[in-house]
């Protein structure tokens, strides 16, 4: 009888589900998605392949919620034992389109090679690659450039002041 109880406990403890989380538009894996199986304390984050493995699940129906900044929150219901290799979850992007950004400058008579300070530029290709960035990501990219400082001017909105220094 003790062997039977140990066998049942081992069988229940081996219930596992693998979840693959991808962007619904690009079908690319999403890293660092938080997944929580409701009514339990099981919480995990996806790896660079968008994968999460939950182990030792009890048999029955479970609801798992997924969340990450930039994507809509999503809930999925699944049953244990799970039939299939993995559960695929597609998250919808919440990217907002920005208003047009106008950049103006003045041109002096000196050429770039005669300017004593360091000159950097952000290529159009790089901006196109990052076209679906959130405003906070663009601010971070600009902060990495020498001579550009950003400062948040509103606590309630994502409004930033850009300051260019020689």
- Domain containing 81 — which CATH number? 2.60.40.1120
Condensed to tens digits (0 to 9), the pLDDT of residues 85-132 reads 999 999 998 876 667 777 777 666 766 666 666 666 666 776 666 666
- Residue 11 scores a pLDDT above 50: no
Q: Are residues 64 and 144 in the same domain?
A: no
pTM of the model: 0.52
Q: Are residues 64 and 116 in the same domain?
A: no
Contacts of 92 (CB under 8 A, 6+ apart): 24, 25, 71, 72, 74
Q: Which domain holds residue 134?
A: 112-164
Going by DSSP bridges, is the β-strand pair 160-164/51-54 parallel, antiparallel, or unpaired? unpaired
């Amino acid at each position: 009888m003790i062997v039977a109880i140990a066998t049942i406990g081992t069988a229940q403890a081996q219930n596992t589900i693998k979840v693959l989380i991808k962007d619904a538009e690009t079908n690319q894996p999403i890293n660092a998605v938080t997944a929580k199986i409701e009514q339990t304390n099981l919480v995990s984050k996806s790896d660079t392949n968008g994968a999460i493995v939950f182990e030792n699940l009890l048999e029955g129906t479970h609801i798992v919620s997924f969340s990450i900044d930039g994507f809509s929150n999503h809930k999925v219901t699944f049953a244990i034992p799970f039939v299939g290799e993995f559960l695929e979850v597609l998250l919808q992007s919440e990217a907002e389109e920005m208003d047009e950004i106008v950049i103006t400058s003045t041109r002096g008579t000196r050429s770039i090679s005669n300017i004593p300070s360091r000159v950097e530029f952000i290529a159009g290709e790089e901006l196109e690659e990052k076209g679906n960035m959130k405003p906070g990501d663009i601010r971070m990219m600009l902060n990495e450039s020498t001579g550009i400082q950003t400062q948040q001017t509103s606590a309630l909105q994502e409004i930033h002041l850009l300051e260019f220094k020689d």
